Chain A
Amino acid sequence: MIVEIGHYALVLTFALTLIQSVVPVYGAIKEDERLMAIASPVSMAMFLLVLLSFIALTYAYLASDFSVQNVWENSHSAKPLIYKITGVWGNHEGSLLLWVLILVFFGALVGFFGANLPAPLRAATLGVQGWVTAGFVLFMLATSNPFNRIPNAPMEGNDLNPLLQDIGLAIHPPLLYIGYVGFSITFSFAVAALILGRIDAAWARWVRPWTLLAWCFLTLGISMGSYWAYYELGWGGWWFWDPVENASFMPWLAGTAMLHSAIVMEKRDALKVWTVLLAIFTFSLSLLGTFLVRSGVLTSVHAFAVDPARGVFILVLLCLFIGGSLSLYAWRAPLLKQGGLFAPMSREGALVFNNLFLTAATVAVLVGTLYPLALDAVTGEKISVGPPFFNLTFGPLMIPLLMAVPYGPILAWKRGDLLAATQRLYAAFGLAILFTLVTFWMWGMDRVLAPLGVGLAVWVMAGSIAEIVTRVKVAEIGFGRGFARLKGLPGSAWGTATAHFGIGVTVLGIVTSTAFQDEKVLTMAPGDTVDVSGYALTFDGLAPSRGANYVEDVGHFTVRKGGVVIAELEPSKRLYTARQFPTTEAGIHTLVLSQIYVSLGEPRDNGSIDVRAYYKPLITLIWIGTLFMALGAVFSMADRRLRVGAPKPAARRDRTDGAAPAPAE
């Protein structure tokens, strides 16, 4: 019964999306207050209905109701509670329901907090969001219904893919989806602006917090997925340039470009047409990602053609949304007036530079992902595009971009002075050179690129600190007053500095862990010891063990440094019994920022086993850097100037004007 209520709620949502798609948009064009007024309540009603659906499906999973096909295919009564919950989105139908839930959640947020938006913009935005929702709810109801029942309910389910029975992967999809579905709101804002034919700096100010929110979650989601692959897949890699990874990385690149161009639009009223185009592209890439992952086209172009219902449906949606929005753009964008002139050497110029390289990088990833599919579909010729291709095309684009990062926030608006900016970055430049030389000295000439990479990372990190230091003018006004000014800096300045710092941190982690890792592949008998970058790793033996729904062989390892035990590692090989599916769990010990990583291979005779052991210097920085990036986004969102419903700048100045806070009366 509860399952049917969930199903019914989903059908009802579809009915509401049809109303939402038409009435408020028509109202916005005709400036009819009454028609526009329905948008907000309907957006909230849709959210509640989809939430009800989602709860119903979750209930079916918790109750292990195997008469529901989706539950039977993906759950098992012996599965731990947490994975019964996360199993809801660990499959095609459930993950789409989560996708739609987040979609309507963002709509409801705009409905709820959008009181300060102009009524036509809000109504049109929610209307466009309604189009997207309608498409995806219809897709679910027609081809991917999670509420389908099966007659003669089986006694036991098929269990969730064991790789998904992991906390990292359990929270990865929601983060990722909040990210890429979050970009739907910027898309809806952009299309609404095109429909209304009006766009200004205020538009950018409304859109930027949404972009930041989506970007923040997408960053965390990608990072989480990467860490999961690192500890779960057993060979210590953390990024594979796989189409599914690229699917989430492309919206991230485009979204990053959009964040930067929206700043120019907000501050200087320039780059409007471009920002709108980026908003369309970013969400289009999210849709493309959904298509790539959900249609099965990646497994094989031919598999897609054999079972076309789902794939073709998403492809049609994709063409409608991307084609429709781009046509609208071509038609209406010339109406948008350009403003805000600037010299090439200025902060605007630096942000354009950022956009240029990020866009080219997005193209590199996009073509690398789609070209093999296209070639296969057109000529039947099969080629592979893997990491070596991306390293060659994407990598070089990142170098000038990273070199320019410290300049961006330091150059002045409109007309900047490159020489003056460089002077402010002397210290950062000196540090970068110093670290490059030290790395050269430590590692010698056999790895020429690595020290330069370290230098580049230090340059980005030090450069982002330099920005804060020069903004508070510590050198001129002394440390005490400088510190007071530090607190007065706007959140967006902190956001920029923190996120840029994070980029440097991630780059440092990538360079050091790739260039200086130590890898040992060998067969170890109990009692054997191997040296990994100065750490003595001893294999103590293998012992069988049993979990809730798996059996495993656990290897016991002891790590010693100078004879002192510093860690014990227990990598294992698991066999999930329901599906007879083997997985590996790496044994990882974190030493400050570096890690020792041990993974098991095939057992041999007399208790020995194949072992792969790594020392990965500073590898955790890769993910720590992404935390800084996400934190930067949070700081920027907390900026009063961007906060929804924050007082106008004039009112704010009355209270906080002056260098020191006014004494209380």
Chain B
Amino acid sequence: MLRSIFALLLCAAVGLGSALAVTPDEVLDDPVLEERARDLSRNLRCMVCQNESIDESNAPLAKDLRVLVRERLVAGDSNDQVIDFLVGRYGEYVLLKPRFAAHTLVLWAAAPVALLAGIGGLIMVVRRRRDRFNPVSAPPLDADEQARLDALLKTKD
């Protein structure tokens, strides 16, 4: 939508405006490595674009990053090593999925906390209502009362 317009505007301004992200000459011969490269690319940001992964972006920077990722993979890096390398070089901004750390605690915890708070709130409301509308939890009958109740029930038969 509109975001994509900004993205394209930016990328068009920066790049040549070709409309293809991964280009055939970048593709690795080893399909397993290529698949890993694609997976990594989808989680890495094209930093001159607006919220686009390097897998989607046409900007020259994204192309450089894609080639870099593939070089590291061919050199034998693990996925985590590639990510660490990129974060070391470009900062955490390059990750589309922020790391779980102190400064992203609120981000990651918000939805689960909202859900738990909602459940907690509901339980409280239900309890309070039950108390309000069933206020009498009657004490058990003593022996005398029980005898009278039994007698009454018997006369019914």
Measured between beta carbons, the chain B residues less than 8 angstroms from A357 are 115
Q: Are B96 and A385 in contact (CB under 8 A)?
A: yes
Q: Are A228 and B1 in contact (CB under 8 A)?
A: yes
A293-B2, A371-B107 are contacts. A521–B23 as well, Cβ < 8 Å? yes
Most buried by B among A242, A384, A397, A573: A384
Give Cα A234 to B4, complex, Å: 11
A340-356 CB contact bits vs B (8 Å, 1 = yes)?
01001000000010001
Q: Is A584 an interface residue (CB 8 A)?
A: yes
Measured between beta carbons, the chain B residues less than 8 angstroms from A228 are 1
B113-139 CB contact bits vs A (8 Å, 1 = yes)?
011001100100010010001000000
Q: How far does the Cβ of A410 sit from chain B's closest Cβ, in whole Å?
A: 21
Give Cα A383 to B51, complex, Å: 11
The range of chain A's interface size is 35 or more
Measured between beta carbons, the chain B residues less than 8 angstroms from A600 are 19-20
Give Cα A232 to B8, complex, Å: 11
A367-B110, A375-B103, A582-B17 are contacts. A225–B23 as well, Cβ < 8 Å? no
Q: Are B5 and A164 in contact (CB under 8 A)?
A: yes
Q: How far does the Cβ of A388 sit from chain B's closest Cβ, in whole Å?
A: 4
Q: Is B85 an interface residue (CB 8 A)?
A: no
Q: Are B104 and A163 in contact (CB under 8 A)?
A: no
Q: Are A601 and B20 in contact (CB under 8 A)?
A: yes
Q: Are B108 and A393 in contact (CB under 8 A)?
A: yes
A521-B22, A573-B19, A602-B23 are contacts. A388–B43 as well, Cβ < 8 Å? yes
Q: Is B18 an interface residue (CB 8 A)?
A: yes
Q: Is A382 an interface residue (CB 8 A)?
A: yes
Q: Is B149 an interface residue (CB 8 A)?
A: no
Q: Is A240 an interface residue (CB 8 A)?
A: yes
A215-231 CB contact bits vs B (8 Å, 1 = yes)?
00000000001101100
Give Cα A241 to B56, complex, Å: 14
Residue of B nearest to A387 (CB): B96
Give Cα A612 to B110, complex, Å: 38
Residue of A nearest to B51 (CB): A242
Give Cα A657 to B91, complex, Å: 71
Give Cα A145 to B155, complex, Å: 89
Measured between beta carbons, the chain B residues less than 8 angstroms from A382 are 91-93
Q: In chain B, residues 11-26, which have Cβ atoms closer than 8 Å to a Cβ of chain A?
A: 12, 16-25
Q: Are A386 and B114 in contact (CB under 8 A)?
A: no
Q: Is A298 an interface residue (CB 8 A)?
A: yes
User: 8 tightest CB-CB pairs across the interface, nearest first?
Assistant: A601-B20, A386-B96, A584-B19, A364-B111, A242-B3, A388-B97, A582-B17, A244-B3
Binding site for B on A (CB under 8 A): 161, 163-164, 172, 225-226, 228-229, 232-235, 237, 240-245, 248, 293, 298-299, 341, 344, 352, 356-357, 359-361, 363-364, 366-368, 371, 375, 379, 381-389, 392-394, 397, 521-523, 573, 581-584, 599-602, 610, 612
Binding site for A on B (CB under 8 A): 1-9, 12, 16-25, 27, 42-43, 45, 50-53, 56, 91-98, 103-104, 106-108, 110-112, 114-115, 118-119, 122, 126, 129, 133
Contacts A360-B112, A382-B92, A581-B12 known; list 10 others, CB within 8 Å.
A244-B1, A245-B3, A363-B114, A385-B97, A386-B97, A389-B98, A397-B115, A523-B25, A581-B17, A601-B19
